[in-house]
Every structure is written in structure tokens, then in C-alpha cells.
């Protein structure tokens, strides 16, 4: 498949914060004396300039690059990196904020309370909300239960849109659970009961409301940027083996038909009620479970969502947050639930308004202050369950949506040093994350531009990369 599938998403990307603070170390986002997760075992990626490979086993890092590293002087920081925010490539509407990650102290601020269109940096808030509301170790189940009549079985959607069509891969995130395995379990249960002929029903009522957002572009589904949001899909309903392949119009039904085919391949005759092998019907309350497969954990899905900037996964995670907080699984309720969960952590969400949880919604607004406050909260270590957010952020020049950036002469010095979430829409460019400055101090930053000139996205991204590079290279004392 196209994307990183191992559950060790964080393992191949620990390079940027390998000398971070106790908060990230405790969270397992970086190796260190307080790390509670195993050392990375994934095959190492090529080391970017300025990067260090993760050690084979946890090693002490706090004595050399700990909280006693000097904090940049705000006045020097403003003189050194502040002028980069006036780069014409960023447009006329720019917000930025830099904070000392371990204390949350603001070191640089430009229009930091002005709500701006954030694009995919929205996913930072979605990730935090998912981990807080759902827990990092939770999984979703895709089940088959007995139907309302003896000749029916019901495929019950649980919120897994990363299903494999065949066998699942226990070492994967995308494709962790497989419909082929579910069909095999179901067929075995049916044969044990003396049944070899059934009708297949689909219960996908977990999510409600529209499956697409009015804030999405007209071609977003067709171009493969996102699928119509449903609680069940094989590989996010892609119709071809490509990252941005077009998506099935009805992802849950397409997955149910794949399941029916797998059931038939296992020797069970699937009745065709006319028009196809599957029709929708609600599962009877308390029905006998005939088979069940579980997704990757929420933390693993969060990491994948951030690294790959997966719009579909972001929207599905947000609906799960809505359901977990006793809201319906709709776009509007998911958006509200994410904001509420972030606010419950003590983050000032004044001006924050989400239109969906992926950043595709044009009416989404977030402030640079909210983004950096969330990042600082993660780094402080008081909420170790949020560690997967730091682990999932792409590494400059190495992973995810930053793998092909920081390759210009004025930004290569920060390759492997910056870990940040990107955000791009037409006219919008954002970057928010962590970096280690020249003195070893961990900083959190956000820079947002939502009036980028037509056709100027590449130049805007490079301007933001230069800002982060200058910030990383400056002790500024």
C-alpha cells in the first residue's frame, strides 16, 4: 500500500526531538531515561542533515539538553526572526507565535489572537481531542452479528475506515484489521450452527447527517483528498492503489460488498435480494456475535493521521470523539466536540471555530495562540496520553508531509530538527510544531498565512521553512 503501515510510526521519526524535554520523554515520543515505550525497531530512514538516528536503546538525554538550556531573549528573537514574517510570499494576513515549550512563556507574537484559516494544522486539535476523549489504547470493532431472521447476518460498522479487503496485518495501522479475517470467522460460526446460506445486511448507522461538508471543495472527493465520511471502509474507499485515488461514493456499502464476496469465497452462499448482495438494516439489540476484528489503537491512528495529513481519518476520529461525549456522529457535533475537549485541557479557544476536523473546511478558524498553547501543553508532560501528537508530527526532510521540504540552501540546516504539522489550501499555508534551537531549548511555534497569492503556495511554504530554520539556528540571547 502507499502509506507507512507499521505501527512504529513514531519510531522512524524520533530524530527531531531526540534531545527533548521530560514531558516528551515520559510520553514516549522520544527516547530518554523516562521513556516508558520500547526503543524503535523499525528500519531506519536516511538521516537528514542535522538529524541524529534514534539510539538502539533508551539513553540519558536530559543532562545535556534539558530544561536548564537558556531561554531565548524575546527582544533578540524579534530582531532576528521577526522580519522573516514580513516576507511578501506570506501575504498580508500573517499570524505567528513562538513559546518556550516547557513553560508556555510567549517569546514572539504577531497577531496571535487573530483567527485564521489553518488548513491541516487543524489536525493538531483533532489529535488532542481524540486522545483525551477516547484514550490512547482504545480500538474500534467491526462485527458481524446474527440478523433479525435465521437466514440473515449483519455487518456492523464500528468506525474503522482502514480495513484491509483480505487478511489484516497485526503490524500495520492501515490494514490492521481485515474483512477477509472477519468473513472467515463468520463462515466458521455459520457452519458450526449448520448454516451455509445467508443474506448479508449492513448496519452503518453509527454516524449520521451529511457525509460531505459544505466547506469542502467540489473536487475534494473526486481528487481523493477525502472520502464521504462513513463508519466503515476498505482503505478509506480508494478505488485505486494511489494516495489520492478517487473514492467510492458509498464507502460503507462498498466495504459490505467486499465482505459478502469474501464470505462467499469461504463457502457460504450469499443471497442476492435484488440489486446487489447487501442491503441496509439495523442489527437487532443483543444479537449473537459471529465474528469481530479490531482496528489499530487510537494513538497509532492519531500518529498516522498527523504524519500523512489524512483528512478522512481526522474526520472519523472526530466523530468518535462526538459519540464518546454523548453527541451524535455528525460534522457539526464532531467539530464542537473537538473544541470542547481542547478547551477542557485549559486551552483558550477564543476565536476557534471548526468546520470539520481535517482542515479542509474553508470556514475553520484557529488562532496561533491556540495552536502553540496546545503544543506547549503536550511538551509540559502533565498529559502523557498526548505524547502521540508529538510523535506523529512530520520531521523536516525525513517523514510525512515534510519529507520533501527543507531541501533549499536556506532551510537544509533545519532538516531533521523541525517536527511540525503542515497546512495547505488554495491561498492558505500554515506550519506549527516543535524545534530545538541552537542552545538546545525546545520551542513550540506556529506561523499562519491565509492570504497567499494565487499560485504562491510553494513560495509561502519556503518562507515558513526559512522562518523555522532561522528560529532553530538562533540562540537569540
Catalytic residues: 120, 123, 309
Nearest in space to 447 (alpha carbons), one of 426, 461, 464? 464
CB atoms within 10 A of CB 214: 11
DSSP category for residue 180: H
284 by Cβ neighbours in 10 Å (0-12 / 13-18 / 19+) ranks as middle
Q: b/e for 96-129, b at 16 or more Cβ within 10 A?
A: bbbbbbbeeebbbbbbbebbbbbbbbbbbbbbbb
Nearest in space to 371 (alpha carbons), one of 321, 421, 313, 304? 421
What is the C-alpha separation between 202 and 451, in angstroms, rounded? Answer: 45
Beta strands in 88-184 (DSSP E): 94-100, 106-110, 141-146, 152-156, 160-163
Nearest in space to 63 (alpha carbons), one of 15, 116, 25? 25
DSSP sequence for 365-383: BB-HHHHHHHHHHHHH-S-
* SS3 label, residue 234: strand
Q: Are the beta carbons of 421 and 429 closer than 8 angstroms?
A: no
What is the C-alpha separation between 28 and 131, in angstroms, rounded? Answer: 14
Beta strands in 101-168 (DSSP E): 106-110, 141-146, 152-156, 160-163
Q: Are the beta carbons of 452 and 428 closer than 8 angstroms?
A: yes
Which alpha helices (DSSP H) does 266-367 contain, by range?
Answer: 298-308, 311-324, 331-344
Amino acid at each position: 500500500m502507499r502509506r507507512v503501515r507499521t505501527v512504529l510510526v513514531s519510531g522512524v521519526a524520533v530524530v527531531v526531538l531526540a534531545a527533548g524535554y521530560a514531558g516528551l520523554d515520559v510520553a514516549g515520543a522520544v527516547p530518554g531515561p523516562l521513556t516508558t515505550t520500547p526503543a524503535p525497531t523499525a528500519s531506519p530512514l536516511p538521516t537528514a542533515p542535522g538529524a541524529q538516528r534514534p539510539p538502539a536503546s533508551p539513553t540519558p538525554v536530559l543532562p545535556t539538553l534539558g530544561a536548564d538550556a537558556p531561554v531565548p531573549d524575546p527582544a533578540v528573537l524579534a530582531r532576528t526572526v521577526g522580519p522573516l514574517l514580513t516576507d511578501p510570499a506570506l501575504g498580508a494576513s500573517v499570524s505567528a507565535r513562538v513559546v518556550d515549550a516547557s513553560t508556555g512563556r510567549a517569546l514572539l507574537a504577531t497577531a496571535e489572537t487573530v483567527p485564521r484559516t489553518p488548513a491541516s494544522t487543524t489536525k493538531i486539535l483533532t489529535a488532542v481531542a481524540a486522545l483525551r476523549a477516547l484514550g490512547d489504547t482504545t480500538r474500534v470493532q467491526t462485527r458481524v452479528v446474527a440478523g433479525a431472521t435465521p437466514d440473515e447476518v449483519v455487518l456492523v460498522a464500528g468506525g474503522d475506515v482502514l480495513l484491509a479487503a483480505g487478511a489484516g496485518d497485526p503490524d500495520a495501522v492501515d490494514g490492521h484489521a481485515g474483512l477477509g479475517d472477519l468473513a472467515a470467522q463468520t463462515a466458521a460460526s455459520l457452519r458450526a450452527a449448520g448454516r451455509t446460506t445467508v443474506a448479508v445486511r449492513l448496519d452503518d448507522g453509527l454516524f449520521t447527517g451529511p457525509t460531505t461538508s459544505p466547506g469542502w471543495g467540489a473536487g475534494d472527493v473526486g481528487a481523493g483528498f477525502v472520502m464521504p465520511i462513513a463508519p466503515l471502509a476498505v482503505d478509506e474507499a480508494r478505488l485505486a492503489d494511489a494516495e489520492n485515488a478517487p473514492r467510492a461514493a458509498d464507502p460503507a456499502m462498498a466495504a459490505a460488498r467486499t465482505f459478502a464476496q469474501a464470505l462467499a469465497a469461504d463457502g457460504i452462499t450469499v443471497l442476492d435480494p435484488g440489486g446487489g448482495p447487501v442491503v441496509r438494516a439495523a442489527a437487532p439489540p443483543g444479537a449473537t456475535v459471529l465474528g469481530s476484528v479490531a482496528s489499530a489503537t487510537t494513538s497509532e491512528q492519531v500518529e498516522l493521521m498527523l504524519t500523512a495529513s489524512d483528512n478522512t481519518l481526522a474526520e472519523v476520529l472526530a466523530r468518535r470523539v462526538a459519540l464518546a461525549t454523548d453527541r451524535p456522529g455528525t460534522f457539526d457535533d464532531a467539530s464542537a466536540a473537538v473544541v470542547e475537549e481542547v478547551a477542557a485541557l485549559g486551552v483558550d479557544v477564543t476565536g476557534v471555530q471548526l468546520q470539520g476536523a481535517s482542515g479542509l473546511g474553508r470556514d475553520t478558524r484557529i488562532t496561533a495562540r491556540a495552536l502553540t498553547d496546545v503544543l506547549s501543553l503536550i511538551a509540559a508532560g502533565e498529559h502523557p496520553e498526548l505524547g502521540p501528537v508529538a510523535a506523529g508530527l512530520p520531521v523536516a526532510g525525513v517523514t510525512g508531509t515534510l519529507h520533501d521540504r527543507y531541501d533549499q540552501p536556506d532551510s537544509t540546516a533545519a532538516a531533521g530538527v523541525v517536527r511540525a504539522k503542515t497546512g495547505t489550501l488554495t491561498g492558505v499555508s500554515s506550519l506549527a510544531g516543535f524545534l530545538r534551537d541552537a542552545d538546545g531549548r525546545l520551542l513550540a511555534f506556529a506561523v499562519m498565512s491565509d492570504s497567499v497569492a494565487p499560485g504562491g503556495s510553494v513560495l509561502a511554504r519556503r518562507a515558513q521553512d526559512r522562518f523555522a530554520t532561522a528560529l532553530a539556528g538562533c540562540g537569540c540571547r
